[in-house]
C-alpha cells in the first residue's frame, strides 16, 4: 500500500494566534517580532504584500506603521504554545498517526482513508477553524517533500482554497514545473546557488537529475530529495518523538552587558530555565557548554566569541549545581573591555533522570535536592508571575530581553482572559 501524507500547516501562525484574540487585527498588515523585538518572524498576508521579508530587522520597517498602518507585536510564546496544543489535539481526531513537526505544522498519515482525500482535507481544515479559530492549509501527497509542495500550492492558489492534493502524475509534473528549487523542503540557500549554477532551476528539473551525480555533489540528503520528488518516500512519519540530544537556553540581552557580575546573573537565570526544561522531560545532563558573544554587527576588532565545555562528575538536573558550573565557566570566559550581546548554554549527554550513574565520591543528598526542585517547579507553574528565582539570577535584571509590545496570555492566565465589553 502506498503511503499518503497530509501536511497541515497553520497560516502565518503567530499572527493568526494574535488575531484570534484581537479580531480588529483582521485585514490589517500585522507582524510578530522575535525576542527583544529584533526582527520579523511572522507576517500577515497584508504585511507580505507590503514587501516585508521574513527575518528582516524591525528597525528597517518601523516607519511602516505611519505609512501603511502596520501593527507590530512582541512574541507571546505562552499563547502560541497553548494554541498549538489545541490545534494538534484537534488533528488527532483525524488519524491515529500524527507527527507534530513544529509548533505550527503536523504530518498526518492518511493511508487507507479512501479515495476522496481532498474532501477529507477540507474536513480537517474546516474542523480546525471551527474548534480553534486557526486557519490552516493542507497538502496531500505520497512523500513528505511532495506534501510540502502541495501545501505551498494550497496556500497560494485561490482555486485550491486551502487544500491541495498531489497524487495524480500529470498534476505532479505541472506543480513541479512551477516550483523553483528555492522552494523545495531541504534545499537551502547554499544548495540553491549551486543547483542554479548547474542550470537546475525547477523541482521538475531536479527530479530528473542523475542520482549518483547528485550524491557526489550534494551528499545523501541531496539524493533523498531527488527520490522524494520522484514519489519514493525516504522520510517516514515519526509519530514517536525521538529522545532529545541537547537542551539550549540562550538569549540576546535587552542591552549590551559589560560586567562579569551581570553576565553571571544572566547565565544563572538561563541555567535555572535549562534545569526546568530538564526536569520537565525527566532528564539529567552529563555535560554543559557555555558561550558568550558580542554583536555580529560591530567592528571585527571589537568582536569576541568563546565557549567552554564542562563534564559533570555525575549527571544532574539540580539547578544550584547547574548555576555553579555555568557561573564558573563564565568567569573563565569573561574578558574585560567587550560589549556582550548574548550568552547561552547547551546541556548535553542527556540521560533519563532515573538512570543516573552514581559517583562513589558524590556525597550530595540527591533525594533531598530532588524534593526541593519538585517544590520549586510546582510553585513556578502555579504562580508564573511571582516565580521563585535563585539569588544568583540577580534582582534588577536590567539585561533581560525586552518584549515591549506583548499581547495578553489569553488562554493560560486567569487575569489575562479576553474581555468582551
User: Which positions touch DNA (CB under 7 A)?
Assistant: 34-36, 38-39, 41, 55, 57, 59, 62, 101-105, 148, 184-192, 219-221, 242, 244-252, 256, 277, 295, 297, 309, 341-342, 344, 401
Shortest separation between residue 41's beta carbon and DNA, angstroms: 5
Q: Tell me the H-state helices in 28-187.
A: 45-49, 64-68, 77-91, 117-132, 144-156, 169-177
Of 245 and 336, nearer to DNA (C-beta) is: 245
Of 297 and 414, nearer to DNA (C-beta) is: 297
User: Could you give the CA distance from residue 204 to residue 54 in angstroms, rounded to a whole number?
Assistant: 26
User: Could you give the CA distance from residue 184 to residue 228 in angstroms, rounded to a whole number?
Assistant: 11
Shortest separation between residue 225's beta carbon and DNA, angstroms: 9
Shortest separation between residue 112's beta carbon and DNA, angstroms: 26
Pairing mode of beta strands 71-73, 30-33: parallel
Shortest separation between residue 293's beta carbon and DNA, angstroms: 10
Shortest separation between residue 147's beta carbon and DNA, angstroms: 11
User: Could you give the CA distance from residue 237 to residue 111 in angstroms, rounded to a whole number?
Assistant: 12
Of 251 and 409, nearer to DNA (C-beta) is: 251
Of 303 and 366, nearer to DNA (C-beta) is: 303
Instruction: Say whether 63 sits in a helix, a strand or coil.
Output: coil
User: Could you give the CA distance from residue 329 to residue 318 in angstroms, rounded to a whole number?
Assistant: 17
Shortest separation between residue 388's beta carbon and DNA, angstroms: 20
- Are the CB atoms for 192 and 182 separated by under 8 Å? yes
- Are the CB atoms for 6 and 27 separated by under 8 Å? no
Of 296 and 368, nearer to DNA (C-beta) is: 296
User: Could you give the CA distance from residue 142 to residue 198 in angstroms, rounded to a whole number?
Assistant: 28
Of 119 and 280, nearer to DNA (C-beta) is: 280
The candidate with the shortest Cα–Cα distance to 415, out of 380, 384, 381, is 384
Amino acid at each position: 500500500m502506498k503511503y499518503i501524507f497530509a501536511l497541515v500547516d497553520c497560516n502565518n501562525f503567530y499572527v493568526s494566534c494574535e488575531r484570534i484574540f484581537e479580531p480588529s487585527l483582521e485585514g490589517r498588515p500585522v507582524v510578530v517580532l522575535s525576542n527583544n523585538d529584533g526582527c520579523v518572524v511572522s507576517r500577515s498576508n497584508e504585511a507580505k504584500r507590503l514587501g516585508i521579508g521574513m527575518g528582516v530587522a524591525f528597525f528597517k520597517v518601523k516607519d511602516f506603521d505611519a505609512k501603511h498602518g502596520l501593527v507590530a507585536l512582541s512574541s507571546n510564546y505562552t499563547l502560541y504554545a497553548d494554541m498549538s496544543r489545541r490545534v494538534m489535539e484537534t488533528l488527532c481526531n483525524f488519524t491515529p498517526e500524527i507527527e507534530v513537526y513544529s509548533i505550527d505544522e503536523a504530518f498526518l498519515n492518511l493511508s487507507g482513508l479512501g479515495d476522496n482525500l481532498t474532501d477529507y482535507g477540507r474536513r480537517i481544515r474546516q474542523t480546525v477553524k471551527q474548534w480553534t479559530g486557526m486557519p490552516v492549509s493542507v497538502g496531500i501527497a505520497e512523500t513528505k517533500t511532495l506534501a510540502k509542495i502541495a501545501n505551498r500550492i494550497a496556500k497560494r492558489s485561490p482555486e485550491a482554497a486551502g487544500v491541495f492534493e498531489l497524487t495524480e502524475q500529470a498534476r505532479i509534473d505541472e506543480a513541479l514545473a512551477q516550483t523553483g528549487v528555492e522552494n523545495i523542503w531541504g534545499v537551502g540557500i547554499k544548495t540553491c546557488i549551486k543547483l542554479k549554477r548547474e542550470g537546475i532551476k525547477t523541482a521538475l528539473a531536479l527530479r530528473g537529475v542523475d542520482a549518483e551525480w547528485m550524491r557526489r555533489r550534494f551528499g545523501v540528503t541531496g539524493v533523498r530529495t531527488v527520490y522524494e520528488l520522484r514519489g519514493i518516500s525516504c522520510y517516514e512519519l515519526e509519530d514517536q518523538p525521538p529522545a532529545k540530544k541537547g537542551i539550549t537556553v540562550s538569549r540576546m540581552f535587552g542591552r549590551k552587558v559589560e560586567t562579569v557580575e551581570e553576565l553571571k546573573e544572566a547565565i544563572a537565570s538561563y541555567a535555572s530555565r535549562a534545569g526546568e526544561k530538564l526536569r520537565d522531560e525527566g532528564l539529567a545532563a552529563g555535560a554543559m557548554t557555555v558561550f558568550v558573544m558580542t554583536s555580529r554587527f560591530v567592528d571585527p576588532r571589537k568582536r569576541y566569541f568563546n565557549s567552554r565545555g564542562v563534564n559533570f562528575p555525575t549527571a544532574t538536573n539540580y539547578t544550584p549545581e547547574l548555576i555553579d558550573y555555568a557561573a564558573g565557566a563564565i568567569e573563565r570566559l569573561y574578558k574585560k573591555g567587550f560589549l556582550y550581546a548574548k550568552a547561552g548554554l547547551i546541556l548535553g549527554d542527556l540521560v533519563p533522570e532515573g538512570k543516573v550513574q552514581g559517583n562513589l565520591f558524590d556525597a550530595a543528598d540527591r533525594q533531598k535536592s530532588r524534593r526541593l526542585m519538585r517544590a520549586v517547579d510546582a510553585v513556578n507553574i502555579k504562580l508564573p508571575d511571582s516565580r521563585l528565582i535563585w539569588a544568583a539570577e540577580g534582582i534588577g535584571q536590567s539585561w533581560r530581553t525586552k518584549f515591549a509590545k506583548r499581547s495578553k496570555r489569553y488562554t493560560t492566565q486567569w487575569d489575562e482572559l479576553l474581555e468582551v465589553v
